[in-house]
Structure 1
Amino acid sequence: MNRLVIISNRVSAPKGSESGAQGGLAVALSSALRQYSGVWFGWSGERTDTFTGDIHFQRDHGVTTATMDLEDQDIDEYYNGYANRTLWPLFHYRVDLAEYEREFAGGYQRVNERFAQTVTPLIEPGDVVWIQDYHLFPLGDELRRRGCENRIGFFLHIPWPPRRLLSILPEAQELVRRLFAYDVIGFHTEEWLESFLDFVRLEMGATITGDVVTLGTRSVRVLACPIGIDTPEFVDLARGVTARLAYRRMRDSADGRDMIVGVDRLDYSKGLEERFLGYERFLVEHPEERKEVFLLQIAPPSRGAVGSYQRIRNTLESLSGRINGAYADVDWVPIRYVNQGYGRDTLAGIYRAAKIGLVTPLRDGMNLVAKEYVAAQDPEDPGVLILSRFAGAAAQLTEAILVNPYSAEEVSDAIRMALRMDKPERIRRWRACMASIEQQDINWWRQQFLDALMLPLSVAAPAAD
């Protein structure tokens, strides 16, 4: 392999641990690129009056980035439209929020063509191309149409919906057919992989031989490969100066109370409304605990141009206000609700100070917050992770307290169980979760996928009837 070329919707130049803007995927891709020479290409996040295909290069913290700007119409139709008002809700099982507009689909196709047109001159013979996530489903096919013969892989970071659900999407089969331009398709869990196989086999007539799926003349290798975190780095962050200061600040602020922490991008898939209601149920059922605990919910806003995101923000502000109004006292409020982001080193200290990590998405491809919470804990006195069974991470972190996030009763019971759990049990559960996080970290994820991408496809002949 000469170089690694990573392509994703957005590219943000790495800013180090002090930045609160980098999500788990950005950190993961930066880590992968530092292991290889290459480039990370995508949208800059900036607008332009007229699309020119000009590329802006930057090198920071050992990663070379190449970005392009998009027009307002591109952003409205491709990003705010098809990606986040059609695909995102549908793939997260929210059929009620999914919108289907031809203009959205047209903008999505146009921008994928623009990605292909702009990045093709950067791809050299021998490069391995790794395309990320649902914004760019058709990009591999567009690169093939422009003569790209490189190995091209695609990784999906969100759930793949069940067959009947995906069938609701207009032209779903055409979208899936174009995925067969890739050499490898990766998913976080066996569940998402099996849903994909179910669709291509039953709806499209594909044949499956081992880990190779064939449709017509095209074959693609598929694998389940859960993304991890840079575990040693995050453990070091939790021991660093910034984290220690954040830890002390939170412990002083807690004033002897137990802290429950949630850290989520403001999104309806994260189950924040249900989380607040589950926590309220706990306050109602256990009034003796009311002034002994509080919930810190950190929820940086996102996708503010999409109406459903505006509504969830309004709902959470109203709900947190109602709960605080109903149960607060002059020296205690049950919920601290914060709409801003923090750097990973600061978050590491906050995680370490929390008795409970409350990670309860309604549906999530993986969820790296759960893994970061575990990695940040004091091995001698760890906190307890409460995790939605519908997060991809639940398949690995089986010793967390797994809950149905739709059930306020289960969330309430889990909080009570975690608060009363003795230290030996907390240590046992933490060690089991930590072992998984250490073994299947970001480097393992990267290597698993790239090793699969470099393997030649071998499809056995079908057995005779």
Structure 2
Amino acid sequence: MARLVIVSNRVASPKERAAKAGGLAVALREALGRQGGLWFGWSGETEVNPPTEPKIFRSGRVTYALQTLDPEEQHAHYAGYANGTLWPLCHYRLGALSYRRTDWEGYRRVNDTFARSLMPLLKPDDVVWVHDYHFIPLASALRELGFKGLIGYFHHIPWPTPDVFLTLPSHAALVEDLSQYDLVGLQTENDVRALLTYISSEARGWIAPGGVVGLKERRFRVAAYPIGIDTEAFVKDAKAAVTGEEMERLHSSLAGRTLAVGVDRLDYSKGLPNKFNAFGELLKSRPEHRSKVTMMQVAPVSRGEVAEYRALRRELEELAGAINGEYAEFDWVPLRYLNRPLARPTLAAIYRSSRIGLVTPLRDGMNLVAKEYVAAQNPKNPGVLVLSRFAGAANELSGALMVNPYDIEGMADMLDLALAMPLEERQERWRANMAVVEANTIHKWCDTFLDDLAHTVDRLGELPEHSRAAARQ
């Protein structure tokens, strides 16, 4: 059996508990543990003139290799190009996009550094699985060093439409980098269409059935692999939370009031001001809900060193203060706003206790909070998922109440509808969503991608002669 090699920006420590590590880390660790393998990534450390070789240690059947980076290189790669350029581009926030050629060059140098560090650790028949936008050029760098084995890539965030993608000065180079992978996985069919449309219309590539692509003598495949959660584990946590201390504390603090909950990183893509304004509009236009419903927003700080994120935090604090100042009673605070992460069992308890799950990003690759909320519900008395149509999860969770996060009054209408929804309809909508969450778990996602990657060469076949001729033109 071929060895699996996973590459990601950060590597989950083998000592990190599943409840803290997150679903993706757990699934990747499980995939490696089943067959043995290597997990390669950034150590989280920087130093001037860092060692060229990664730190290597083993835990069970998994070898961990962690690369330290030069601080200036790491800043150009991570804060500069990856999160200052690609993140806003892929989330359609062109006003927040900052492109500097030095950042682009630093991004590629770090990918070259990773490739040089990884290459001596690779065996010819290894299967390499690269994760996310930090490492789009990694396959190109590995190919230049002579690696000929299978390399797959999964893009966890949205892929922009061609018109948006063309605003990126380095768009052509990035797609050429993608062509060095054997399988490119995206979250949704919309993302697949966006990338294939760019390849056929701008890059003069050839698209064959099944997402097979011919581009400058390279053949690779593009397909959708909607990511899931560890459903069984989350259901278990939610059931255990029924008798837990967190549930008792929460119920006591609510004093019988209805709870609406949102859980998001503090990021401009999550539509948090829109969500706050919609809740404020609900209280303004429908006073019957005052003192009867509480909204809780959990928003751990993300990239706090970036000015735009600091400005977002100030904006949310002002909005929360304004809503609470306008509508609070001496025994009721309408909006509870927390800037710290909560453990998974605590989140499961909060989800299970809430009537409404508010997931309203302006753009999101998938959004696993939506699936976690569904998994945590009590089947006899489930809550209602209110979901942005711009989240990847909207393509799967048909039982949700879909909203446009730019329509504040429309979101307030949906909140009102969710609060008034009868039990039978809530159960029917939950069952439709839960069937998807149970069928498409993170373990199935992982196994499906790796199986397709293993059989990619068989599926690529020979492209027609006219496609090869078009690629040479």
Amino acid at match of 2:129: W
Aligned to 1:314: 314
300-309 or 134-143, larger mean C-alpha shift: 300-309
Structural mapping, 1:42-441, within 5 Å:
42-58=41-57, 64-210=63-209, 211-240=211-240, 244-441=244-441
Alignment CA distance shift 1:86-1:404 (3 Å): same
Amino acid at match of 2:17: G
* C-alpha contact (below 8 Å) 1:242/1:346 kept by paired residues: no
Give the CA deviation at 1:247.
2.2
Structural mapping, 1:5-20, within 5 Å:
5-14=5-14, 15-19=16-20
Alignment CA distance shift 1:58-1:288 (3 Å): farther
Alignment CA distance shift 1:461-1:72 (3 Å): same
Alignment CA distance shift 1:63-1:314 (3 Å): farther
Distance of 2:269 and 2:420 partners within structure 1: 29
* C-alpha contact (below 8 Å) 2:241/2:349 kept by paired residues: no
Give the CA deviation at 1:408.
0.7
Give the CA deviation at 1:331.
0.8
Alignment CA distance shift 1:30-1:413 (3 Å): farther
Distance of 1:281 and 1:293 partners within structure 2: 13
Give the CA deviation at 1:318.
1.4
Amino acid at match of 1:458: G
Report the number of matched residues.
462
Question: What's the CA shift string for 1:214-248, capped at 9, x where partnerless?
Answer: 01210101111100011111111212369833222
Provide the secondary structure at the position in 2 that maps to 1:251.
helix
Provide the secondary structure at the position in 2 that maps to 1:80.
helix
Give the CA deviation at 1:374.
0.5
Distance of 2:372 and 2:439 partners within structure 1: 14
Provide the secondary structure at the position in 1 that maps to 2:193.
helix
Alignment CA distance shift 1:407-1:64 (3 Å): farther
Aligned to 2:461: 458
* C-alpha contact (below 8 Å) 2:241/2:348 kept by paired residues: no
Distance of 1:97 and 1:162 partners within structure 2: 17
Give the CA deviation at 1:35.
3.1
Alignment CA distance shift 1:243-1:314 (3 Å): farther
Q: Give the alignment's Cα RMSD to 1 decimal.
A: 1.7
Distance of 1:387 and 1:32 partners within structure 2: 30
* C-alpha contact (below 8 Å) 1:9/1:42 kept by paired residues: yes
Alignment CA distance shift 1:345-1:53 (3 Å): farther
Give the CA deviation at 1:69.
1.6
Give the CA deviation at 1:46.
1.6
Provide the secondary structure at the position in 1 that maps to 2:365.
coil
Amino acid at match of 1:385: L
Distance of 1:460 and 1:108 partners within structure 2: 33
* C-alpha contact (below 8 Å) 1:189/1:392 kept by paired residues: yes
Amino acid at match of 1:34: G
Distance of 1:53 and 1:332 partners within structure 2: 57
Q: Which runs of 5+ in 1 are unaligned?
A: none
Provide the secondary structure at the position in 2 that maps to 1:173.
helix
Q: Which runs of 5+ in 2 are unaligned?
A: 468-473
Distance of 1:228 and 1:426 partners within structure 2: 22
Alignment CA distance shift 1:61-1:287 (3 Å): farther
Distance of 1:60 and 1:380 partners within structure 2: 42
Provide the secondary structure at the position in 2 that maps to 1:319.
helix
Provide the secondary structure at the position in 2 that maps to 1:35.
helix
Provide the secondary structure at the position in 2 that maps to 1:220.
strand
Provide the secondary structure at the position in 2 that maps to 1:99.
coil
Give the CA deviation at 1:2.
2.2
Question: What's the CA shift string for 1:320-360, capped at 9, x where partnerless?
Answer: 11111111111111111001011212211111111111000
Distance of 1:176 and 1:110 partners within structure 2: 17
Provide the secondary structure at the position in 2 that maps to 1:74.
helix
Distance of 1:64 and 1:251 partners within structure 2: 45
Provide the secondary structure at the position in 2 that maps to 1:185.
strand
TM-score (normalizing by structure 1): 0.96
Question: What's the CA shift string for 1:227-285, capped at 9, x where partnerless?
Answer: 00111111112123698332222122111011111111110000001110111111111
Report runs of 4+ in structure 1 exceeding 4 Å deviation.
Answer: 58-64
Give the CA deviation at 1:28.
3.6
Question: What's the CA shift string for 1:3-44, capped at 9, x where partnerless?
Answer: 21110111131511442xx34433442343333311221112
Alignment CA distance shift 1:60-1:386 (3 Å): farther
* C-alpha contact (below 8 Å) 1:24/1:368 kept by paired residues: no
Distance of 2:24 and 2:52 partners within structure 1: 25
Alignment CA distance shift 1:28-1:368 (3 Å): farther
Question: What's the CA shift string for 1:367-414, capped at 9, x where partnerless?
Answer: 001001100111111111111000000000011111101111121111
Distance of 1:287 and 1:24 partners within structure 2: 40
Alignment CA distance shift 1:54-1:261 (3 Å): same
Provide the secondary structure at the position in 2 that maps to 1:249.
helix
Distance of 1:165 and 1:62 partners within structure 2: 43
Alignment CA distance shift 1:172-1:334 (3 Å): same
Amino acid at match of 2:12: S
Give the CA deviation at 1:66.
2.1
Question: What's the CA shift string for 1:146-168, capped at 9, x where partnerless?
Answer: 11111000000011101011111
The share of aligned pairs that are identical, in percent, is 48
Give the CA deviation at 1:171.
2.2
Distance of 1:386 and 1:459 partners within structure 2: 46
* C-alpha contact (below 8 Å) 1:243/1:345 kept by paired residues: no
